[in-house]
Amino acid sequence: QLHVVESGGGLVQPGGSMRLSCAASGFTLDYYALAWFRQAPGKEREGVSCINSRAGTNYVDSVKGRFTISRDNPKATVYLQMNDLKPEDTAVYYCVVNVECMPSPQYWNNPDASWGQGTQVTVSS
């Protein structure tokens, strides 16, 4: 079973930085693509970034140049480094494994993907 757990969320001021972690268990991370999604109150869920098994990456336009996704296969962990955070980045962030890491976020999720429980990120002064 593909199991992932997010950590690293919290409160940060606008312009600040935060790193989210996604720890994988029950499978070998090396062979899978993963993605970060987020959902803000009253808004639809959106894909933020994905990384494939060869460490190729894609980003939604709103975070390009500010967020960086990376993976550490020996540690079975995927990271999302978020810089220059804005209030509109406030959301619950989810790690999702077994995605289709295509250039467009609308294709990332699929019926075989497994979702974590999410971690809250709040950007506020």
Question: Which pLDDT does position 1 carry in this prediction?
Answer: 82
26: left (phi over 0), alpha (psi -120 to 50) or beta: left
Check if the beta carbon of residue 22 is closer than 8 Å to that of residue 6: yes
Q: What is the share, in percent, of the chain residues with pLDDT greater than 70?
A: 100
List, as own/partner pairs, every contact residues 27-31 make where C-beta atoms lie below 8 angstroms and the sequence separation is at least 24, other chains included.
27/1, 27/2, 27/3, 27/97, 29/71, 29/73, 29/76, 29/77, 29/78, 30/73
Tally of CB atoms within 10 A around 76: 17
The answer on pLDDT for 116 being more than 90 is yes
